[in-house]
Amino acid sequence: MTRTSVESISWERVHLTLDVALRGFSGNANSLRFLLIDDDRELPVNSRQITAEQHRLEINVTNFADRRQVPNGTWRIVPTCDDEKLPAATFDLDAADRLDIDSRTFLYDRNRTAYVIGFGISDDEDSPEFLMRTYQLFRGAGPAKNPVKKPLGKRLALKVLPRARRRKIAQRLYWTARRVRPPKGDRILFASEMRTSLGGNLARVHDRMIERGLDKKYTFNHSFRVPATANKWSTLRLIYLLATSDTVLMDDYFGLLGNLEVSPDTKIIQLWHAGSGFKAVGYSRFGKYGSPKLSNAHRKYTYVITGSKHLVPVYAEAFGIEESAVVPTGLPRIDTFLDEERSQKVKDDFFAAHPEFRGKKIVLFAPTFRGKSIGDAHYPYERIDFAKLHEVCGDKYVVLFRMHHFIPDAPPIPDQYRDRLVDFAAFPDTNDLLHVTDVLVTDYSSVIYEYTLLDKPILFYAYDKDTYSVIRGFHRDYDSVAPGTICVTFDDLLKALQDEDFDLSKVETFRRENFDYVDTNSADRVIDWLIVGGTDPEHMPGEHKWLASVPEEPAVADEPLSDQSEA
């Protein structure tokens, strides 16, 4: 008789692994499958054989099937062979104390919602079975701790037209606009909710399409705004453009998508702005600080681009989508970065504008932000000793500060140090600065992505790497992968600069893992594979569908229509 038992339970972020032993099985191993069963519901589980008797079940609990989490239920693990169900899995009763330890509770939505994966044993005295219970718990927001009284006009507007109703109206406007002016196959929308103008990957794809004369075949529309510039009129315009476009290109989190049911005929392509840093984003940080909800704008993408096949599972996990929807085209902004003629012009123009920097080594200080997202982004400038940094620079270095564009406050550089320490926030393009940079100082930012192509040193000022890893999360081990010298104190950073203690030993490995293409054709691949050419069988198998707007609880109705708080 076949006996099935769960031997071990392990977690890696949102990935649950169950090692299951199947003893006494004499059937066709090639026909063996595993199901999660709750009464009449049966869900297939990915599995692979690892020994003669052992099988490994792998479950992404946030993206189990059809871009949704494992449904609420009390699930048994049941092997099947040629459609015949075998006995459900059991668990060693002597190790039952482990089940509570291995269970997980993921808190999100400002701790108002919990997604629970709990393990237990059935109450069958003769043959107790292993159970996996999954469920969501909700609570109300409760009274505000420090309530700020809204202006009378806003209070009246919310009474007359509460946000939940506004969302219904927005959805009606979307479908009305789509019926009145249906897409014709030639409308492309370039949009961002995190920048006010065309830039990065969007700009390169846009410009390359014009270079190829495709602006004569396609109609281009644009929508660029940040939360501070968004208003009801720009939201109405954006809803109209989303409804009437055939293809939508974006480069960052796009909150409005999470609250609209978008036609499956619209192709939504995420040209994610970052290359490959360390910080976890999206569902890679589910249940951590800044976690997304289970219903989220990220799940709406038809395709997401990345720089290499190695990063496909990373992006699929982060966005809660299937791996086949992540396409390793390379990042379009690399095209101009690798253009030698343009790079030389960038250098010439830079030193013509800043002759005082000639003969000095340029240090670019470019960390990521702290906080959840654009709404609370900041950097703890008290971690920088400007006086000591100025002293270490001497006549050798000049330090250019290029803070993340989410950070509203400029570095407070005292006037007496501004000859060697300079705020470069106004410089148009960070990638252009990399060409004149001799040493990059960063932390968890994806700015390292392009910079590793230049074979120049990186210093990682990671004063908070242990707490950052626990609270925000990394999608890979920081200490073993960071392609440079890690400094955990500011004095360590100063000493590394002073002694030129640079480590380039991991740069080549980093490049191999993150770049399938080191060329100037990434924008063309995006255009030909995803925009103009439809699909390429080698790179985009299958049909990609996404979620409609699914509110998770009544409290969500009190949030803005375009919510950028949980990227």
Cα separations (Å) of 152 from 146, 148, 156, 484, 558? 18, 12, 6, 55, 17
Say what the pLDDT of residue 163 is: 80
Q: Please, which residues have CB within 8 angstroms of residue 3's CB and are 6 or more apart in sequence?
A: 22, 23, 24, 87, 90
- Per residue in 263-278, pLDDT (tens digit) is 999 999 999 977 666 7
Residue 60 sits in a domain whose CATH number is 2.60.40
- Per residue in 382-435, pLDDT (tens digit) is 999 999 999 999 999 999 999 998 899 999 999 999 999 999 998 988 999 999
Say what the pLDDT of residue 148 is: 73
> Is residue 78 domain-resident?
yes
| Cα angle 209, 276, 433; round to 5 | 70
> Is residue 325 domain-resident?
yes
Considering the domain architecture, whether residues 431 and 541 belong to the same structural domain is answered as no
Q: C-alpha 479: how far from its chain's center?
A: 21
Say what the pLDDT of residue 534 is: 57
Considering the domain architecture, whether residues 382 and 319 belong to the same structural domain is answered as no
> Is residue 210 domain-resident?
yes
Considering the domain architecture, whether residues 125 and 272 belong to the same structural domain is answered as no
The β-bridge relationship of strands 84-85 and 73-81 is antiparallel
Cα distance between residue 5 and residue 23, in whole Å: 9
Say what the pLDDT of residue 152 is: 75
Say what the pLDDT of residue 276 is: 63
Comparing CA positions, the residue from 404, 448, 402 lying closest to residue 427 is: 402
Comparing CA positions, the residue from 166, 234, 223, 233 lying closest to residue 197 is: 223
Q: Which residue has the tokens 């255009």?
A: 527
Beta bridge partners of 189: 221, 248
Considering the domain architecture, whether residues 280 and 350 belong to the same structural domain is answered as no
Specify whether the CB–CB gap between 391 and 327 falls below 8 A: no
Count of structural domains within the chain: 3
Cα distance between residue 187 and residue 181, in whole Å: 11
Say what the pLDDT of residue 520 is: 92
Considering the domain architecture, whether residues 428 and 384 belong to the same structural domain is answered as yes
Q: Give the end of a domain, one of 498, 514, 530.
A: 514
Specify whether the CB–CB gap between 112 and 555 falls below 8 A: yes
- Region for residue 359 given its phi and psi (left: phi exceeds 0; alpha: psi -120 to 50; beta: otherwise): left
Say what the pLDDT of residue 545 is: 43
Q: Give the end of a domain, one of 108, 138, 168.
A: 138
* 490: containing domain: 339-514
Token pair, residue 360, equals 């000095």
> Is residue 565 domain-resident?
no
The β-bridge relationship of strands 485-487 and 32-38 is unpaired
Say what the pLDDT of residue 550 is: 42
| Longest CA span, the chain | 85
- Per residue in 167-193, pLDDT (tens digit) is 899 999 999 999 999 999 999 999 999
Say what the pLDDT of residue 277 is: 61
Say what the pLDDT of residue 273 is: 79
> Is residue 145 domain-resident?
no
Considering the domain architecture, whether residues 482 and 534 belong to the same structural domain is answered as no
Parts of the chain with a pLDDT under 70 = 275-277, 534-567
> Is residue 34 domain-resident?
yes
